[in-house]
Chain A
Amino acid sequence: MMEKSTWSQRLIKWFYGLDRTLDEYEQHVLDRAGHHITVGLMAYLLLSGLGVSFLAGMVGVNTSLVIWQFTNLGVCLVAWGYLSWAIYKLHLSDIEVTTKQYQGAIKAVLKKSQRQTLVTVVLFQMIDSLSNAWLDSASYWQTFFSWPQLRTLLIFAVVMGGASVLIGMARVKVVY
């Protein structure tokens, strides 16, 4: 039965592009995964703070902070991987269609991927140009339209757009 969704469920749904209403079982799965991740991250936060203090005494503050950054990245990837695995295993992200609806669903997925890629890439370019312009003491628009900046944008668009299309197409499942 449909229940009122919590903020963490809404966040997870937004992040993974799950746009349909989730039923009680799906909400239960997301809640459980969200709780695991929250508890895990809190434990990591406490332990890593302690660990980095010990590490700073052994290898120096700068090295310990660099190590901490990498472990933070690793932990984020593990949390993301766990949630993605839960969603994939339980088919929460599947878009189930009949044979007749398949072509339409693929077209819709492609359109959505294009839109998402465009928005993300433009946003990335704006933020990246801003930081680069500030670092190089150059004007914003000059940096925005500079070749190295546009080249990075193109690579990012191709990689992200390609991945988005492939993931989107894999989500469409024909149910007989």
Chain B
Amino acid sequence: MNRVKEYRQRAHLSQMGLAEAIGVARQTINMIENDKYNPSLALCLNLARVLNTDLNTLFWLEADTKE
């Protein structure tokens, strides 16, 4: 689960813009935003850095939501 889309929109970035900023394809951002791909730690850290936030705010486990 993640808030990548929310934070990307807050940063006024398109999927393409965010993808270019961290050096991945736009489809990868799309897959992450739709919870269809679990990115590596390095990619998560890069996303957090570019979106000016931290890992815990951006990503969490689905089990944590249910609690």
Contacts and interface: CB of A to CB of B under 8 A. Distances in A.
> Number of contact residues on B: which range applies?
10 to 19
Given A96-B16, A175-B16, A26 B25 contact: yes
A23 B46 contact: no
A158 interface: no
**Max chain A C-beta neighbours (<10 A), residue from B25, B42, B43:** B25
Interface residues of A, number: 14
Interface string A77-109: 000000000000011101010000000000000
Interface of A: 1-2, 22-26, 28, 90-92, 94, 96, 175
B25 A1 contact: no
A1 to B, nearest CB: 5
A94 B26 CA distance: 11
Interface string B13-28: 0001000000111111
A175 B26 contact: yes
9 contacts: A1-B40, A2-B23, A22-B25, A23-B23, A23-B28, A25-B28, A94-B27, A96-B16, A96-B26
